[in-house]
Amino acid sequence: MPYRAPVEEVRFICEHVVGLGQVTATPRFAEATPDVAAAILSEAGKLCDEVLAPLQRAGDLHPARLENGVVRTSPGFAEGQRALAEGGWVGLAASPDHGGMGLPQTLAAAVNDMMSGACLALQTNPLLTQGQIEALTHHASDAIKALYLPKLIAGAWSGTMNLTEPQAGSDVGALRTVARPNGDGTYAITGQKIYITWADADFMENVVHLVLARLPDAPPGSRGISLFLLPRNIPGADGAPGVANRLRVVSLEHKMGLHGSPTAVMQYDGATGWLVGEENKGLAAMFTMMNNARLAVGTQGIGVAEAAYQQALAYATERRQGATPVGDGSGAIVDHADVRRMLATMKAEIFAARAIALSCAVAIDMSTATGEADWAARAAFLTPIAKAFGTDIGVEVASEGIQVHGGMGYVEETGAAQFLRDVRVATIYEGTNGIQAMDLVGRKLADGGEAAWRLLEEIEQAAEAVRRVLPELAGEVWAAAESLREATEWMLSQDLEDRFAGAVPFLRAWARLLGGHLHLAAAMAAGGAGPRTALARIYIARRLPEHAALLAQARAGAADLYALSPDDLAA
């Protein structure tokens, strides 16, 4: 079955579950009326179905390649990128001051979700550009904004982020790339970066790199990192790409998946760059781009999960095997209890992850529109959960999709394995999911748990409000919230190593609770009966109970982990 963008599902969640209406009720986003939002989602769905989805297999079977220093892209990708640019999709949430639509981040997240399901390899290109737009909007000089933002927003130029170096990995403070002043306001950047997604493309007029580097007199560690903008081709006085900069793609990585999305080793040999933001404050500026990308990567996982689920469901409804308890007993495998369990679980998990991500986007929009600290704190708290849970579910649903196919899922021709190969990296980049969890129990609890307490209070009040309609479901959600309250109090009383040891299960327990809360909201929005209530019952009965075991792990501390030495682990 060809991929079909889940337009109606996204609309339902936006309108009835996560509260997009409160965003569009603000003066900042008043133009994003329900009719406008519906039109945006509908047109995005058509683009996904008709233009992007047909490119999915081409990117896998005909990977990007490096040819005479130029990255040659997969068949059809140039036309797909042109459609994205001409439709204004890159600048959906960007400021109208530089040509963007100025729409809510919630709509941008929903569109990224659908486009990721259609063709993740190509979608990574505009995703990174959107993050760069965000970083330049907040930190670049007016001159840089005037020159670069219109081109990036229009999709004529694309953007990358350059953080990782071979010796540093996730320890960005250990980077060695050097920036030396040229005396004319520019800098000469020398160094090497790895894992640079879409570092070049033969269909882009220009590629703009944001590069972390260290000035000669910079203090050590992360306190001495600055951010620089380096175009592939240096723009002339007229703004058109001119002479080639002193940078090059050394090689392309041979990856497990995402073959249509080139990931490069980049070399900078005295390349000309411009400072973005203040000296030695580059990491904060880059984190603006990374935070934008973290939610976007979460939606990538959700989009791939949706596509994997759609294919698994289509296969299960067509494949006939064995006696079943439905109809004449010789029906499709969808009627076997275990296959039905897998499919129902996949659907319930996708809903939970999608609703969490869109809840995070709503919080970002409300923070932007109102300037209220509580909304900003909620957005910050939900971001690592949305990223980690969205990408974990992408991997888990894609794996389960292979299982639904049985032996045919392990055969590449069916395409089921591609979803798992493509999405696996999403749990790693933009900060591994372990780093997301450490961020949650560290920085995101640094307010004494205030954002967590407000969220728990809201969840418990919502559960109380529906006890008369769905008492058994509401009771389970309320009880889980109380358990999370106790676990959060425990986290706040521990040192960081004990928190970090239990961070991953703690984050997953929060995702389980939020998923139950949002499923309950969907059930009530549908009248407390019907398919949405049945799906909520599956999630709350079969997935939410995991929170108890997760919280036991979260509170185990670090002592038992360090009781085993590296030699013990090797024995």
Q: Which two tokens stand for residue 70?
A: 């130029």
Q: Are 450 and 436 in contact (CB under 8 A)?
A: no
**∠ Cα 299 384 303 (to 5°):** 10
Q: To which residue do tokens 């229009």 refer?
A: 154
Q: How many CA atoms lie within 13 Å of 234's alpha carbon, on the beta-carbon side? A: 11
Do residues 293 and 238 touch, judged by C-beta distance below 8 A? no
Residues with Cβ within 8 Å of 352's Cβ and at least 6 positions away in sequence, in order, are: 389, 393, 511, 514, 515, 516, 518, 519, 539, 543
The distance in angstroms from the start CA to the end CA of the chain is 49
Residue type, 20: L
Q: How far apart are CA 292 and CA 133, in angstroms?
A: 10
Structure tokens belonging to residue 300: 């990538």
C-alpha 496/C-alpha 399 separation (Å) is 33
Half-sphere exposure of 521 (CA within 13 A, CB side): 24
Alpha-carbon distances, residue 484 vs 153, 193, 453, 537, 554 (angstroms): 41, 40, 10, 20, 11
Q: Is 191 exposed, middle or buried (0-12, 13-18, 19+ CB in 10 A)?
A: buried
Structure tokens at 77: 């990708």
Residues noted as catalytic: 430
Q: For residues 54 and 80, what is the distance between their CA atoms, to the nearest angstrom?
A: 10
